[in-house]
Chains A and B, each alone.
Chain A
Amino acid sequence: MKTASRILGTAFFLEGFEVQDAPRYGAERRGAPIFAYVRASRKAINERGIIRRPDLVIVADDTLVPVPVAGVLIGVTEHTVLLINSNEKPEVWKDRLNVSGQVLTLPAAAEEEDRLEVRFVGATCAGAAARLVGVISRASLVQAIRDELAHLGATTIDKNLAKALEPYDLVASHAGSVTPGQEVRADAYQNPQWVELPFEDARVSAPAIHAAATSKKVKTGLWRTMRPVICYSRCKRCWWVCSTFCPDGAISLNHEGYPQIDYEHCKGCMVCLAQCPRHAIQAIPEHETEAKTSAGEEV
């Protein structure tokens, strides 16, 4: 999404706009949700930092919508256009999320058929956004992609161009539906909601920080949006490559020598999936595993 924000930022810049683009890395761990934002204006932009009142919100991965830390709907009003990369219909999302503004979807089919397509989702989002704002020409979008991906070579540039131009055409009928919101005065922002906390001994208020060997108590499994699942019929108990590469020590061996994943601490980085020589590990969206578990299916 950082690349998507840079493509969009450069496209605005090529159209003569003042612009800002910036990523926020959140927990700075592979597998944790991230977002990026773009501001564009004909005038100098003095405001910086996270956008609190977005005119357009793009969700590249619809599994993030129910994840509280992803904060997908923060600041969304009736003015905001919400674009979700999802195989469900816009009406379904509009109803489910109870939002009053315009909701659009991009078909996520390609990524579901082939997970390798996921890496092009940034170009897809940037292409759609460039059309929705209504002020970016096809030529500027193409030039922005060429500029931002110059170091990746012609093949990657061509693939990204195709991935961006398809949604650029797809949302043509909605061109210009994203319009500048009203300028917000600095004093119109809500003050931080301070929470008064009673004084507590540090050992009580922050036991995980102040005591030794407590990392087990910190359930980092909550960060996960995708779950690695070992297919034991394919696992050959090799040299336990998955367990060796797991950066969090979340894969241990059971008494039969099969690896097992500790989902309370697995952050969903998918390093195991990438390393498994037998391709015996699958990635399943977290919300699907919950649905299957409640239906009594084995995942």
Chain B
Amino acid sequence: MKRTLLTGNGAAAWGARLAGVDYVPAFPITPQTEIIETIAKWIDVGEMDCRMVTLDSEHSMITAAGAAAATGVRVFTATSSQGLLYGMEMIYTVAGWRAPFVMVNVSRGLSAPITLEPDHNDILAARDSGFLQIHCATCQEVLDSILMAYRLAEDERVRLPAIVNMDGFYLSFTREPVEIPDVEAVTCFLPPFDPENICFRASAPVSQAWRSSAAPLTLTSVTKPI
């Protein structure tokens, strides 16, 4: 474990790195861009083994994230403000697919006029979308919540995408001490994604929460503590 100074965005990038994500579809928007830039740099220098693709919009980005998650790989993405709203149609759609992935939203006020201040109206718009939401108050919580979000989202009793939210311009750009856990400790808490029953066939679409082998989920098994 290492204690160092990280911005909220830096902590988010570390969360994705420690989670060992396989695929990052991306589209830039202030104040989130530092997350994607940091991951891009790590991929470039070989510190992260991951595929990053820049998409033409957040709508495509969230579609790509949901589609990739539905094939059983671990997916990470991030957006903010107008970007979240532009992808909103697919937010509801991929949640309905029960495709588990994690998206960081860096909350920022909405237009018009252009707003460079924090505000929660973006994330509130996604409240009933089916995405889990974890809201963070510190940079440490950003890193920790991403790891917890993957564990929650991928659990066969959940199988939903999750949003980890932080306040733009406040947490996103504020450096503070953050404990970066060791890879071994993270792997113990969050083993590689085992998609089990996930099977992606365009010709025979099924919900990713559907289980072919095991017994159907009951209320008791759903509410069992993780």
B5 to chain A: which residues have CB within 8 Å?
6, 9-10, 13, 19, 21
**Closest Cβ neighbor of B30 among chain A residues:** A28
Interface residue ranges of B1-40 to A (CB < 8 Å): 5, 7, 30
Q: Out of B7, B112, B116, B170, which one reaches A28, CB within 8 Å? A: B116
- Is B176 in contact with A24, judged by CB distance below 8 angstroms? no
- Is B30 in contact with A21, judged by CB distance below 8 angstroms? no
Within 8 Å of chain A (Cβ to Cβ): is B169?
yes
Q: Out of A13, A18, A21, A206, which one reaches B174, CB within 8 Å? A: A21
- Interface residues on chain A, number (Cβ under 8 Å): 18
B112 to chain A: which residues have CB within 8 Å?
209
A20 to chain B: which residues have CB within 8 Å?
174-176
A206 to chain B: which residues have CB within 8 Å?
113
Within 8 Å of chain B (Cβ to Cβ): is A64?
no
The verdict on A24 contacting B174 (CB below 8 Å), with A9-B5, A209-B112, A209-B113 known, is no
**Closest Cβ neighbor of A22 among chain B residues:** B174
Interface centre among B30, B167, B175 (most CB of A within 10 A): B175
A79 to chain B, nearest CB (A): 24
- Is A6 in contact with B175, judged by CB distance below 8 angstroms? yes
**Closest Cβ neighbor of B174 among chain A residues:** A22
A and B contact pairs by CB, cutoff 8 A, 21 listed: A6-B5, A9-B5, A10-B5, A13-B5, A18-B177, A19-B5, A20-B174, A20-B175, A20-B176, A21-B5, A21-B174, A21-B175, A22-B170, A22-B174, A28-B30, A28-B116, A45-B176, A48-B171, A48-B174, A49-B170, A209-B112
Interface of A is mostly: mixed
- Is A22 in contact with B173, judged by CB distance below 8 angstroms? yes
**Closest Cβ neighbor of B118 among chain A residues:** A49
B176 to chain A, nearest CB (A): 5
- Is B177 in contact with A13, judged by CB distance below 8 angstroms? yes
Give CA–CA (A21, B7) in the complex, Å. Answer: 9
- Is B176 in contact with A19, judged by CB distance below 8 angstroms? yes
Interface residue ranges of A17-44 to B (CB < 8 Å): 18-25, 28
**Closest Cβ neighbor of A5 among chain B residues:** B175
B174 to chain A: which residues have CB within 8 Å?
20-22, 48
The verdict on A24 contacting B177 (CB below 8 Å), with A10-B5, A19-B5, A209-B113 known, is no
**Closest Cβ neighbor of A23 among chain B residues:** B173
A22 to chain B: which residues have CB within 8 Å?
7, 170, 173-175
- Is A19 in contact with B177, judged by CB distance below 8 angstroms? yes
Residue-by-residue, is A1-17 near B (CB-CB < 8 Å gives 1, otherwise 0)? 00000100110010000
The verdict on A9 contacting B175 (CB below 8 Å), with A28-B116, A209-B112, A209-B113 known, is yes
Closest 5 CB pairs of A and B: A22-B174, A20-B176, A21-B175, A48-B170, A22-B173
- Is B169 in contact with A24, judged by CB distance below 8 angstroms? yes
B170 to chain A: which residues have CB within 8 Å?
22, 48-49
A48 to chain B: which residues have CB within 8 Å?
167, 170-171, 174
B30 to chain A, nearest CB (A): 7
**Closest Cβ neighbor of A21 among chain B residues:** B175
Residue-by-residue, is A72-86 near B (CB-CB < 8 Å gives 1, otherwise 0)? 000000000000000
Give CA–CA (A10, B5) in the complex, Å. Answer: 8
A19 to chain B: which residues have CB within 8 Å?
5, 175-177
B107 to chain A, nearest CB (A): 13
B30 to chain A: which residues have CB within 8 Å?
28
Residue-by-residue, is B50-88 near A (CB-CB < 8 Å gives 1, otherwise 0)? 000000000000000000000000000000000000000
Give CA–CA (A49, B174) in the complex, Å. Answer: 8
B62 to chain A, nearest CB (A): 26
A6 to chain B: which residues have CB within 8 Å?
5, 175
Give CA–CA (A206, B113) in the complex, Å. Answer: 10
B169 to chain A: which residues have CB within 8 Å?
24
A28 to chain B: which residues have CB within 8 Å?
30, 116
**Closest Cβ neighbor of A208 among chain B residues:** B113
Give CA–CA (A20, B174) in the complex, Å. Answer: 6
